[in-house]
Amino acid sequence: MKPVKRNREGAKKTKRKVQAKWKAIRRGHAPAPEKAGQPKETRPRAEERGRPRAARKSNTASRPSPYAGNDRRPIQRETHSTFIEEDPKRTPESFAVKARPPERPVPPREAVLAIVGRPNVGKSTLFNRLTGSRRSIVGDEPGITRDRIYGEVSWQGRTARVIDTGGIVPNDEAHIPAEIFRQARFALDEADAIIMVVDGRTELAAPDLDLARLLQRTGKPLFLAVNKIDTASMEAAAENFRKLGIRNLVAISSEHGLNIGELLDEVFAVLPETEPAPAESEPEPFPEAEADSATIEAQPPGPETASLHRTHGAFEQHETRVAIIGRPNVGKSTLLNALTGSARAIVSPVAGTTRDAVDELMEYKGHELRIVDTAGIRRKGKTHLMAEKLSVVMARRHLESADVALLVLDATEGVTASDATIGGYAHESGRSVIIVVNKWDLVTSGRTDGKPPADRAIFERQLRSVLKYLSYAPVLFISATEGRNVPRVLDTVLRVAAERRKRVSTGQMNRFLDKIDFQRASVPMSKRIRIFYMTQAAVAPPTFVLFTDRDVKLHFSFERFLENQIRAAFGFEGTPIWFKVRARNEAPAHK
């Protein structure tokens, strides 16, 4: 029986070898066996068979790294897929890869300085001292700063980027501290030098020792800033922190600015020197808005005003600032991460996670956009902590400095009174507004309460009835978590920004006035005025000056009628229109 057993095992091995051989032949990895009486034929090449050669798959496919957001510029995700359609009539030369257009020269990278430390040791105070601003919120409450905050520091004719991070507790496994530590790791990977800040008024703690060992393992230049040393008599206590094993130690006072110069001297001595970036060419103009060519006259910019926009003053426009505003926990931080393609902001189901405004600079279709994620705006009676009050103030300040505001609504809760109040802030400040209805998947395909899916037309009609003053704002329905319709947000931002900076000549405005029948405007006789001519005095937002027979305030009905007529003729989508009245014989006021 033993020989039979060996024969069975040999037969099984032979069968497996034959199966493996034919499998390799089918895949093209081995030549086919020659048949008797037939000459040896070679396998035709892929190009000769009339189709492109298939790309060999790799088992080590490139995947996005979890630290992909640590670069200053976010990841640019492709919004389309390239493919080749099979056509037997095409020649092998037609499959040649087309050369890509030359890319824009990348400016030299600036030196980066990261500020890290335990909570409530004075990192944000040092950041504000170095940048000369009040960018970070400062308070006595620990854990105010959570996201990364970028700024610029200048010293002795040199500049560097400085990053403020949240308080690091390495061994804390809670969600918010873990996310803060992850954001700090991004800053450490990006930094050329690191400043560890400790509190000089307290004793050394175990988190300080753990953090010091972690920073020393990075191998980057490390400096120890013993903060809150306000007097010369306290400098001796700073020497106790040499137990951390950090050689470069400087006793400072961020609040009073003591020894800040000595710290910057040592830091800039090890930072790499970067050459000034070459002068960049002028950015491409915004896409022209869809309007009749006979309505708006093209005005070629001169050599001195090619990059200037006229508002209430002339300024050079380098980038478009976009502020994401809304109530707490409506998905603003998720939308920022979806737009930039990186984990830039901390996302949490807890309302009020974002406190400092988080901004990210990105490039889209040749235009620079700075996306700013603001804290959730709530009523004054609902804010109790000082950090929450300051975050609302900072959100209002960033809104007023933006060009376009993305008003984010929660589709599961509908339009609330707080949404109407926040939208009023953007409207009154003259910002262009885009209404973004987020979490639309939870009321349509992902609905779990058994109710029928929501109708988009009905929801938009209800939205317009509540936000009547934002009738000019476009409405987008998206899902930031799943990425649905997110690219449309950036396309709409570019279109609205172009409408915001549109200018109409005085001749076109006067011909426009001749075609309007003002008798249709429902205005009381005591409020009626006669318009002699009208001109556009400013852009961003569009401002028109009406020269009338008397100096009276425009009736709201007449102003609404005139605004609707201007929008029907010239567009101005997504941006408010301002009017100023000046009597014909009235001299302008001298300031």
- Which of 278, 240, 281, 233 minimizes the C-alpha distance to 258? 233
All residues at 6 or more sequence positions from 468 whose CB lies less than 8 Å from its CB, including other chains: none
> Measured between alpha carbons, how far is 237 from 249 in angstroms, rounded to an integer?
12
Q: How far is CA 330 from CA 148, 233, 354, 491, in A?
A: 21, 51, 12, 22
In the chain, CATH 3.40.50.300 covers 112-270, 309-448+455-500
DSSP 495: H
**Peptide bond connecting 541 to the previous residue in cis, omega within 30 degrees of 0:** yes
In this predicted model, what pLDDT tens digit does every residue of 264-306 receive, in sequence order?
Answer: 999 999 998 876 545 444 445 444 444 333 333 333 333 333 3
> Measured between alpha carbons, how far is 98 from 164 in angstroms, rounded to an integer?
44
> Measured between alpha carbons, how far is 283 from 287 in angstroms, rounded to an integer?
12
> Measured between alpha carbons, how far is 108 from 101 in angstroms, rounded to an integer?
21
Length of the chain: 591
> Measured between alpha carbons, how far is 245 from 126 in angstroms, rounded to an integer?
22
Domain spanning 506-583, CATH architecture: 2-Layer Sandwich (3.30)
> Measured between alpha carbons, how far is 368 from 340 in angstroms, rounded to an integer?
12
pLDDT of residue 356: 82
H helix runs in 401-455, sequence order: 417-428
Neighbours of 506 (CB within 10 A): 13
Homologous superfamily of 112-270:
P-loop containing nucleotide triphosphate hydrolases (3.40.50.300)
HEC readout, 179-200: HHHHHHHHHHHHCCEEEEEEEC
CA atoms within a 13 Å half-sphere pointing along the CA-CB vector of 4: 1
Q: How far is CA 587 from the centre of its chain?
A: 45
Taking a C-beta distance cutoff of 8 angstroms, is the pair 211, 118 a contact? yes
Q: Considering the entire predicted model, what is its pTM?
A: 0.70
Q: How far is CA 7 from CA 3, 16, 378, 430, in A?
A: 6, 14, 83, 90
> Measured between alpha carbons, how far is 134 from 155 in angstroms, rounded to an integer?
18
Q: How far is CA 143 from the centre of its chain?
A: 24
H helix runs in 296-448, sequence order: 332-340, 386-400, 417-428
Mean pLDDT in order along the chain per 10 residues (591 residues): 55 78 73 58 47 43 41 41 38 38 53 93 93 83 82 92 90 80 91 95 89 93 94 87 93 93 95 64 45 37 39 55 94 93 83 83 92 88 74 88 95 94 94 96 85 92 94 96 93 95 92 87 79 91 91 87 93 94 68 43
In the chain, CATH 3.30.300.20 covers 506-583
pLDDT of residue 70: 40
> Measured between alpha carbons, how far is 40 from 43 in angstroms, rounded to an integer?
10
pLDDT of residue 115: 96
> Measured between alpha carbons, how far is 452 from 106 in angstroms, rounded to an integer?
51
Helix (H) or strand (E) holding 309: strand 308-310
Task: Cite the beta strand spans of 212-301 per DSSP E.
Answer: 222-227, 248-251
Homologous superfamily of 309-448+455-500:
P-loop containing nucleotide triphosphate hydrolases (3.40.50.300)
pLDDT of residue 147: 86
> Measured between alpha carbons, how far is 20 from 24 in angstroms, rounded to an integer?
6
Dihedral sign for Cα 208, 212, 214, 218, please: positive
Q: Which residue has the tokens 């001298």?
A: 590
Coil vs helix vs strand at 285: coil
Coil vs helix vs strand at 369: strand
- Which of 247, 146, 249, 166 minimizes the C-alpha distance to 200? 249
Give the pairing type, strands 158-164 and 149-155: antiparallel
Taking a C-beta distance cutoff of 8 angstroms, is the pair 500, 574 a contact? yes
Taking a C-beta distance cutoff of 8 angstroms, is the pair 548, 532 a contact? yes
